[in-house]
């Protein structure tokens, strides 16, 4: 088989630290991990120790106020559904942005069908949020602001500290989708006034698929449990318990996956988030630098070196459909990228690319400079050959 040059890390990271695979293997092969918080025998306690340690590591990574405020879910989509449907009501007005993924938009549209209203902060021609929109859209019934930390289309990051301060000033709940930024950019829930952070485990946290979570800030929020069932305690109550982390963890946890996620977080800690962030920015800007003058290329978002970003470069080549271009990259060069709409319809509408889509290259800390140079050279060759 020809070598695969994988640049679809915003969808999921393909290469994981060896320790992640080993952790998942041992979680099963060693036969020591039972069902956490479901018994007092050693297997159940081992699983409980693992999940509690991971809550602590997660809270540290995100600057969360309390490890007990971290709950684990299957992915960011599950987290966002649990949070948005458990917290918001048909009486609420919600401010969100046109950079959101369908994991935010579709739950909000469901709430809209029930009577809630939604307003969208727009972007300028570089894909940067138009910050005055937040005040312009504010209404007396506004209850929450939901923001994508880093766009999965442009990679550009929102200024969470600014938006968090705006939310505090106006008594709004601040919910952040950190799917593309967790493990890439600094997140400090206290400093950035984040009330709810939703994350996924299988992208830049290098965990296995089927892992993710919710981290709550220090302000009490009244959630309705959306998924209910076994909790392991208060079994005779008809009502599902509302305390964290049980609130979001009905049923058996993916402990084997969480063992892998824990190793992913260790990798980030060992390498250092700041070093990873710098490396990813270097890869992104190097790629951008080498392709920006290819005849017919159209690039989306801001590549200014002082702009915080996730490692994403989305582009089009004049005369090419994004699906055809990504097929050619794969067939001729073994390059894996993601064409189309990236489940983010509104940002594509903002850029006028709803028909063509875009070709998205996205990098991980396992990509090398040589791979970046190969990708840039291949794209140039395709553009020149037409
Ligand atoms: C910005 C954003 N939000 C949410 C998601 C959903 O993540 P998951 O598929 O892990 O639930 C993605 C996935 O690509 C994303 O990019």
Distance CA 30, CA 52 (A): 20
Rounded Cα gap, residues 160 and 236, in angstroms:
42
Instruction: Report all structural domains of the chain as residue ranges with CATH numbers, in order of start.
Output: 5-15+272-385 (3.90.1150.10), 18-270 (3.40.640.10)
| Digit-coded pLDDT (tens) for 236-291 | 999 999 999 999 999 999 999 999 999 999 999 999 999 999 999 999 999 999 99
Residue 116 CA, ligand 1 centroid: distance in Å: 23
Distance 346 CA to ligand 1 centre (A): 15
Cα of 76 to ligand 1 centre, how many Å?
Answer: 6
Give the nearest ligand 1 atom to 79 CA.
Answer: 11
What element of type H or E holds 58?
helix 42-62
Give the residue, by CA position, lying nearest to ligand 1 atom 14: 11
User: Cβ(178)–Cβ(196) under 8 Å?
Assistant: no
| Cβ contact 350:339 at 8 Å | no
In this structure, the residue with its CA closest to atom 15 of ligand 1 is 179
Flag whether pLDDT at 2 surpasses 80. Answer: no
What's residue 200's pLDDT?
Answer: 98
Least Cα distance to 298 among 180, 385, 383 occurs for 383
Per-residue pLDDT tens over the stretch 311-337: 999 999 999 999 999 999 999 999 999
In angstroms, how far is CA 366 from the centroid of its own chain?
A: 18
* pLDDT above 70 coverage of the chain, percent: 100
Residue nearest to atom 7 of ligand 1 (CA): 76
Asked if the model's pLDDT at residue 38 lies above 90, the reply is no
171-172-174 Cα angle (round to 5):
135
Whether the per-residue pLDDT at 1 is higher than 70: the answer is no
Q: Which residue has tokens 């929450």?
A: 144
pLDDT of 129 reads 97
CA of 211 to the centre of ligand 1 (A): 12
- Cα–ligand 1 centroid distance for 102 (angstroms): 8
Using DSSP bridges, classify how beta strands 93-97 and 117-121 pair: parallel, antiparallel or unpaired: parallel
Kindly give the distance from the C-alpha atom of residue 184 to the centroid of ligand 1, in angstroms, as a whole number.
14
- Nearest CA-CA partner of 156 in 125, 134, 132, 135: 125
Q: For 166-218, how does the pLDDT look when each residue is reduced to its tens digit (9 = 90+)?
A: 999 999 999 999 999 999 999 999 999 999 999 999 999 999 999 999 999 99
Q: Tokens in use for 165?
A: 């301060």
Per-residue pLDDT band at 18 (split at 50, 70, 90): very high
Pocket-forming residues, ligand 1, beta carbon under 6 Å: 75-77, 101, 103, 148, 152, 177, 179-180, 200, 212
Of ligand 1's listed atoms, the one at least distance from the Cα of 209 is 10
Percent of the chain with pLDDT over 90: 97
What does the CA dihedral 315, 316, 317, 319 come to, rounded to 10 degrees?
A: 180
pTM for the structure as a whole? 0.98
Q: Give the pLDDT of residue 293.
A: 97
pLDDT at 29: 98
What pLDDT shows up at residue 199? 98
Query: Per residue in 219-245, pLDDT tens?
Result: 999 999 999 999 988 999 999 999 999
Q: What distance in angstroms lies between residue 360's CA and the mean position of ligand 1's atoms?
A: 15
Which residue of 180, 199, 347 sits with most ligand 1 atoms within 8 Å of its CB, as the best mutation to test the pocket? 180
**Average pLDDT along the chain:** 97
Q: In whole angstroms, what is the distance from residue 192 CA to residue 194 CA? A: 6
Question: Does the pLDDT of residue 136 top 70, yes or no?
Answer: yes
Q: By alpha-carbon position, which residue is closest to atom 16 of ligand 1?
A: 152
Local structure of 228: helix, strand or coil: coil
Please state the rounded mean pLDDT for residues 299-318. Answer: 96
- Residue 117's CB is within 10 A of a number of other CB atoms, namely 16
Q: Is the model's pLDDT at 164 over the cut of 90? A: yes
Say if residue 385's pLDDT is above 90. Answer: no
Of 179, 200, 186, the residue nearest 60 (C-alpha): 186
């Amino acid at each position: 088989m020809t070598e695969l040059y994988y640049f679809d890390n915003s969808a999921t990271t393909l290469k994981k630290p060896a320790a992640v695979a080993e952790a998942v293997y041992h979680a099963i092969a060693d036969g020591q991990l039972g069902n956490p918080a479901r018994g007092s025998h050693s297997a159940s306690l081992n699983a409980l120790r693992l999940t509690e340690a991971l809550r602590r590591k997660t809270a540290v990574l995100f600057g969360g106020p309390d490890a007990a405020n971290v709950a684990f879910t299957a992915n960011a989509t599950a987290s966002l559904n649990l949070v948005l449907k458990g917290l918001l009501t048909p009486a609420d007005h919600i401010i969100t942005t046109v950079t959101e993924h369908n994991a935010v938009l579709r739950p909000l549209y469901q709430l809209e069908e029930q009577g809630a209203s939604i307003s969208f902060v727009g972007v300028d021609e570089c894909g940067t949020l138009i910050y005055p929109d937040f005040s312009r859209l504010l209404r007396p019934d506004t209850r929450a602001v939901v923001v994508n930390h880093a766009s999965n289309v442009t990679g550009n990051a929102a200024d969470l500290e600014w938006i968090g301060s705006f939310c505090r000033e106006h008594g709004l709940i601040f919910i952040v989708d950190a799917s593309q930024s967790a493990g890439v950019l600094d997140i400090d829930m206290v400093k950035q006034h984040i009330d709810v952070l939703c994350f996924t485990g299988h992208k830049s946290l290098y965990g296995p698929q089927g892992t993710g979570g919710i981290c709550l800030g220090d302000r009490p929020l009244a959630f309705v449990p959306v998924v209910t069932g076994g909790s392991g305690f208060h079994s005779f109550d008809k009502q599902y318990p509302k305390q964290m982390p049980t609130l979001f963890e009905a049923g058996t946890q993916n402990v084997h996956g969480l063992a892998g996620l824990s190793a992913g977080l260790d990798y980030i800690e060992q390498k250092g988030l700041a070093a990873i962030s710098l490396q990813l920015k270097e890869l992104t800007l190097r790629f951008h630098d080498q392709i920006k003058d290819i005849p017919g290329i159209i690039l989306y978002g801001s590549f200014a070196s002082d702009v915080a970003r996730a490692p994403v470069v989305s582009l089009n080549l004049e005369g090419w459909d994004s699906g055809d271009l990504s097929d050619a990259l794969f067939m001729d060069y073994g390059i894996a990228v993601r064409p189309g709409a990236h489940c983010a319809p509104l940002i594509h509408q903002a850029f006028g690319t709803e028909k063509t889509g875009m070709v998205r290259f996205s990098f991980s800390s396992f990509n090398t400079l040589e791979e970046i140079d190969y990708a840039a050279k291949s794209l140039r060759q395709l553009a020149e050959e037409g």
